[in-house]
Amino acid sequence: VLVDLDHGDIAAKREHLVLNLGTPTLEVASGGVTPDGQRKLHLYWRLTEPAEGEDIARVCRARHMIATKVGGDPSFRSAHQPIRVAGSVHAKSGTPRLVEILHHDPRDHDLGELIEAIIAMPPLEGEATSDFDFNDASATSGSVTELFGRKVREGGVDGTTRFDALSRVIGYWIRRCREGHVT
């Protein structure tokens, strides 16, 4: 499970993640630098066993939740998203920089326990997006508040299936409950 911290206050994001998820197994300086001079980071939490089958989707959702809650790169929602590895060279800015390991912690993390910690982790103030979708429903199906008053018909004839609409509304209320807004 990983997050790419590539903009904003990298140190604050890292601190929030360590406080809520524990020390990552691996911290990598990705070679990039923010406009205010902070090194961009890749943080990895190695699992106790390889993710296979349905667990791959769980890992991708976990990566997306982390990125959404701290303002990380959302691209890693996809299992196939490539990432620079330590020892390679970052040359996007025209100045080649080595991608290097900053810290290694030998601890492994249980996927279920890590996901529980990610769900329990509060969003970092000022960084989390408001359109977080716990259910991976299509972003084209409208905002949740629009769905509250919209007629949704069989077969998605209006651009939203009943399943997608219901999933988004349920996800909205689960999120509101987990954030303590409703009980």
2-128 is classed CATH 3.40.50.970: no
Higher pLDDT, 99 or 155: 99
Q: What are the residue ranges spanned by the domains of the chain?
A: 2-128, 130-183
**Average pLDDT estimate for 153-173:** 73
**Average pLDDT estimate for 120-129:** 82
- Residue 6: which residues within 8 A CB-CB, separation 6 or more? 30, 32, 34, 40, 72, 73
- Note if the pTM is more than 0.85: no
- pLDDT averaged over every residue in the chain: 85
**Average pLDDT estimate for 60-77:** 92
Residue 140: what pLDDT? 45
Q: At 146, is the pLDDT very low, low, confident or very high (cuts 50, 70, 90)?
A: confident
Structure tokens belonging to residue 126: 């000022």
Q: Nearest-5° angle of CA 160, CA 164, CA 170?
A: 135
Angle between helices 54-70 and 10-21 (to 10 degrees): 130
